[in-house]
């Protein structure tokens, strides 16, 4: 337990340090892009957030399969927590994208395949979270596991949207490499590492919280059962 806490503290410190380093790289180290200007720096928030939203939904997908296969509640907890954090990162993508688009495309939003599929992806996982909150205790895990598996179908579609259809969304990372200068690549890598650490830190904390909530519910239910039994004995 103490080791876990110490590990979390170190992890938290490293994440914080990497976040500061990422901010330094974004605002000081990375050059200003010639055609877009300073607004291009949104890219260092937008791209890692998009990657982590996809990654979070992939974890939900794998954990949902493992839950249905093993019937172990721990996988259900991981699937749920990862989906919640995925929605947070997907929200960041859907907000930073239009903020970048307004000065560059002159519109906040356009029904481009990448933008549309990302919005659908966000709706799917918001629906997943809503389903969990309204479904009954015994059905919740099964329903959401099935939803978590089928919902993932939209992730490769969203990822490939800029390759499959004609789109105005920039294609920076291609099979031939990354179409930006070397300091920009370094900055992107630092931002990726910082956001990945933030993602895992959030995931560890969220899973810990969910486990605690389930434990409290379990203790409360067993106490209520005992009280009920005592009342029955006294009545009989």
Partner 1 sequence: MAGTLYLFAAFSITWLIIFVYIFSISRRQKTLERQIEKISEALRDRL
The answer to whether 70 contacts partner 1 (rule: CB under 8 A) is no
Angle of helix 73-105 versus helix 113-134 axis, rounded to 10: 150
Residue 156 in contact with partner 1, rule: CB under 8 A: no
Nearer to partner 1, 49 or 145 (CB): 49
- Binding map of partner 1 across residues 17-46, x = CB under 8 A, - = no contact: --------------------xxx-xx--x-
Q: Give the three-class secondary structure for 177.
A: strand
Assess 130 for contact with partner 1 (CB under 8 A): no
Q: Dihedral (C-alpha) 214, 220, 221, 222: value to the nearest 10 degrees?
A: 110
The reply to whether 9 sits near partner 1 by the rule CB under 8 A is no
Among 52, 92, 115, 191, binds partner 1 (CB under 8 A): 92
We find the least distance from the C-beta atom of residue 40 to partner 1, in angstroms, to be 9
Stretch binding partner 1 (CB under 8 A), from 100-108, 143-151, 162-170, 186-194? 100-108
Report angle CA 215, 218, 222 to the nearest 5 degrees: 140
> CA 89 to CA 16: how far, in whole Å?
18
User: Which is closer to partner 1, CB of 160 or CB of 209?
Assistant: 209
Please name which of 213, 224, 83, 194 lies closest in space to residue 148, comparing C-alpha atoms: 83
| Nearer to partner 1 among residue 146 and residue 204 (C-beta) | 204
Whole-number Å distance between alpha carbons of 89 and 112? 20
Of residues 91 and 116, the one with the C-beta less far from partner 1: 91
Q: Which runs of E-coded beta strand occur in the chain?
A: 173-174, 177-178
Nearer to partner 1, 20 or 164 (CB): 20
Q: How far apart are CA 207 and CA 8, in angstroms?
A: 13
Phi/psi for 174 (5° steps) reads: -120, 180
Question: What CA–CA distance (Å, rounded) separates 203 from 30?
Answer: 29
User: Between residue 182 and residue 221, which ones bind partner 1 under the rule CB under 8 A?
Assistant: 198, 202, 205-206, 209, 212-213, 216, 219-220
Determine the Cα–Cα distance for residues 105 and 101; give it in Å rounded to an integer. Answer: 5
Least Å distance between CB 198 and partner 1?
A: 7
Residues of this chain that bind partner 1 (CB under 8 A): 37-39, 41-42, 45, 49, 88, 91-92, 95-96, 99-100, 102-103, 198, 202, 205-206, 209, 212-213, 216, 219-220, 223
């Amino acid at each position: 337990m103490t080791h876990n806490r110490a590990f979390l503290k170190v992890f938290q410190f490293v994440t914080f340090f990497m976040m500061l380093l990422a901010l330094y790289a974004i605002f000081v180290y990375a050059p200003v892009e010639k055609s877009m200007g300073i607004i291009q720096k949104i890219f260092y928030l937008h791209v890692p957030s998009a990657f982590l939203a996809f990654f979070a939904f992939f974890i939900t997908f794998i954990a949902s399969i493992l839950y249905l296969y093993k019937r172990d509640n721990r996988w259900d907890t991981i699937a749920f927590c990862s989906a919640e954090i995925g929605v947070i990162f997907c929200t960041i993508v859907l907000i930073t994208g239009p903020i970048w688009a307004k000065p560059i495309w002159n519109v906040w939003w356009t029904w481009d395949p990448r933008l549309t599929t990302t919005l659908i992806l966000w709706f799917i996982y918001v629906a997943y979270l809503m389903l969990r909150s309204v479904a009954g205790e015994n059905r919740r895990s099964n329903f959401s596991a099935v939803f978590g598996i089928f919902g993932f179908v939209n992730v490769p579609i969203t990822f490939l949207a800029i390759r499959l259809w004609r789109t105005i969304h920039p294609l920076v990372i291609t099979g031939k490499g990354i179409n930006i200068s070397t300091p920009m690549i370094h900055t992107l890598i630092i931002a990726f590492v910082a956001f990945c650490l933030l993602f895992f830190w959030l995931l560890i904390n969220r899973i810990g919280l969910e486990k605690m909530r389930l434990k409290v519910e379990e203790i409360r239910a067993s106490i209520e059962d005992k009280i009920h039994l005592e009342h029955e004995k006294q009545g009989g």
